[in-house]
């Protein structure tokens, strides 16, 4: 098994407790100490790990880490993978998993993706849920049997990237649930509700779950020791959003959540638990300019022209990067966006936002129907000037333009 981080460490411990005796390797030698004390087999390098074992589990931070451990280069792997079964249990982009499958099978090996749903506590308790795809049916059965010490349930998701697409759908529900829970506590605070009481009522009702209970406890205690860190959740938000855009799916709740988690990471809270997203509500309230731009982005994604125009000053001006005026005044802005909002596939994904005083800068990816009828992905940077709670001027720069699916 490669990877002994917040998830990989507890998962390896569950395997050892079950008598599996895995050989372990990690890029951070300090994480090996507790396993050495337990007498675990340790590989000195990733090359040794793959050479000594027919099955290798990967539980790594992201796609880049997985490709690095597999020594991916030029569409292939430099490792000797003939006869090996590689099982990637991390979460990543579906296309990257397809590419990895091609590289491993081209080298004579087999590749299975087996992402798990759950954070550190379920990993410690053996209560993860695995989704397994790729390889042969027999190999998937073998992997499901192997992960039993770590999981309370596992599911066969067919061919790659079936497990990852399933995991992304599950993650959308998790991410928006926690964002909604944080918003409920923010509202409760504004209404004078004692946080512990709100927690207890939620826990006693039909919406109670391990997630709501655990995250409510963290919010009430302001204890944001990570189970699922903000930076990891933000990464998962982006993966879900990109998959949704590629499929032409609308995800307004996820888009709002992405903004919140991006805000927390930008403010230096990346290592804290995802429940700390509750802090974003207070800080976004304090920044009227950013809140105004966020409202217009939300209206844009809903294609709600009235709500969109309510964010703009009557004499607002929209310019291109070279200064060319694209629309002057609210009437012209209305006409420009009335045409755009007729595109049912139109949406904007916020990648990064920064603000200083009355100026807000958004880096976005806009998805819209191109002249050839195909869905296209356009890189856009928008600079907004906000005065008295309204956008008075905006300047947009378009970068690369890519048809979806190419």
CA-based nearest residue to 99, from 139, 64, 48, 130: 64
What percent of the chain has a predicted confidence (pLDDT) above 90? Answer: 83
Indicate if the alpha-carbon torsion angle 148, 153, 155, 161 is positive or negative.
Answer: negative
pLDDT beyond 90 at 305? yes
CATH architecture of 167-283: Orthogonal Bundle (1.10)
Question: Is 288-403 in the same CATH topology as 8-160?
Answer: no
HSE (side-chain half, CA atoms, 13 Å) at 257: 28
Phi, psi at residue 67, to the nearest 5°? -65, -35
pTM above 0.85, yes or no: no
404 Rama sector, left if φ>0, alpha if ψ -120 to 50, beta otherwise: beta
Residues 53-68 pLDDT 10s: 999 999 999 999 999 9
Q: Residue 284: what pLDDT?
A: 57
Q: Detail the DSSP E strand segments found in 266-389.
A: 312-320, 325-328, 347-356, 359-369, 375-387
Residues 235-283 pLDDT 10s: 999 999 999 988 989 888 998 888 889 878 878 899 999 999 999 877 6
Structure tokens at 371: 């002249």
Q: What angle do CA 232, 237, 238 make, to 5 degrees?
A: 100
Residues 347-387 pLDDT 10s: 999 999 988 778 899 999 999 998 888 899 999 999 999 98
Would you tell me which CATH number, out of the four given (1.10.287.3510, 3.10.450.50, 3.40.50.2300, 3.40.50.740), belongs to the domain 288-403?
A: 3.10.450.50
Instruction: Confirm if 215 and 276 have CB atoms less than 8 A apart.
Output: no
| Domain boundaries of the chain, sorted by first residue | 8-160, 167-283, 288-403
Would you tell me which CATH number, out of the four given (3.40.50.720, 3.20.20.10, 3.40.50.300, 1.10.10.10), belongs to the domain 8-160?
A: 3.40.50.720
Distance (Å, whole) CA 370 – CA 165: 26
Structure tokens at 362: 């958004």
Residues 164-218 pLDDT 10s: 999 999 999 999 999 999 999 999 999 999 999 999 999 999 999 999 999 999 9
**Once rounded to an integer, what is the mean pLDDT over residues 84-89?**
98
Structure tokens at 112: 């299975």
- The mean of the pLDDT values for the chain is 93
Q: Residue 287: what pLDDT?
A: 59
Distance (Å, whole) CA 194 – CA 189: 7
Residues 312-361 pLDDT 10s: 999 999 999 988 999 999 999 999 999 999 999 999 999 999 887 788 99
Distance (Å, whole) CA 56 – CA 193: 50
């Amino acid at each position: 098994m490669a990877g002994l981080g917040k998830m990989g460490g507890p998962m390896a411990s569950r395997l050892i407790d079950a008598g599996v005796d895995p050989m372990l390797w990690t890029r951070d030698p300090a994480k090996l100490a507790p396993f050495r004390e337990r007498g675990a087999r340790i590989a000195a390098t990733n090359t040794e790990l793959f050479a000594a074992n027919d099955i290798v589990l990967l539980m790594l931070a992201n796609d880049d880490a997985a490709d690095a451990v597999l020594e991916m280069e030029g569409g292939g792997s430099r490792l000797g993978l003939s006869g090996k079964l590689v099982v990637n249990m991390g979460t990543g982009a579906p296309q990257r998993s397809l590419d990895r499958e091609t590289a491993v099978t081209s080298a004579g090996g087999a590749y299975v993706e087996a992402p798990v749903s759950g954070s550190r506590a379920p990993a410690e308790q053996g209560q993860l849920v695995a989704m397994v795809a790729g390889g042969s049916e027999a190999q998937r059965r073998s992997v499901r049997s192997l992960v039993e010490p770590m999981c309370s349930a596992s599911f066969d998701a067919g061919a790659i990237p079936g497990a990852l697409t399933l995991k992304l759908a599950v993650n959308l529900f998790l991410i928006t649930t926690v964002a909604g829970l944080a918003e409920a506590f923010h509202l409760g605070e504004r209404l004078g509700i004692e946080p512990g009481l709100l927690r207890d009522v939620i826990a006693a009702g039909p919406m109670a779950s391990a997630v709501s209970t655990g995250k409510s406890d963290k919010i009430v205690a302001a204890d944001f020791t990570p189970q699922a860190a903000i930076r990891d959740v933000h990464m998962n938000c982006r993966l879900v959003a990109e998959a949704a855009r590629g499929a032409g799916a609308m995800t307004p709740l996820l888009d709002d959540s992405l903004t919140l988690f991006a805000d927390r990471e930008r403010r230096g809270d990346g290592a804290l638990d995802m429940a700390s997203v509750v802090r974003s509500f207070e800080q976004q309230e304090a920044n009227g300019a950013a809140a105004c731009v966020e409202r217009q982005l939300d209206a844009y994604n809903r294609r709600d022209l009235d709500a969109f125009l309510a964010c703009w000053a009557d004499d607002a001006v929209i310019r291109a990067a070279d200064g060319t005026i694209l629309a002057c005044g609210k009437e012209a802005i209305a006409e420009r966006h009335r045409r755009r909002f007729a595109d049912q596939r139109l949406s904007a994904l916020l990648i990064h936002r920064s603000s200083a005083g009355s100026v807000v800068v958004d880096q976005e990816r806009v998805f819209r129907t191109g002249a050839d009828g195909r869905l296209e992905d356009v890189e856009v940077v928008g600079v907004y000037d906000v005065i008295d709670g309204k956008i008075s001027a905006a300047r947009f720069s378009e970068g690369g333009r890519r048809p979806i699916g190419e």
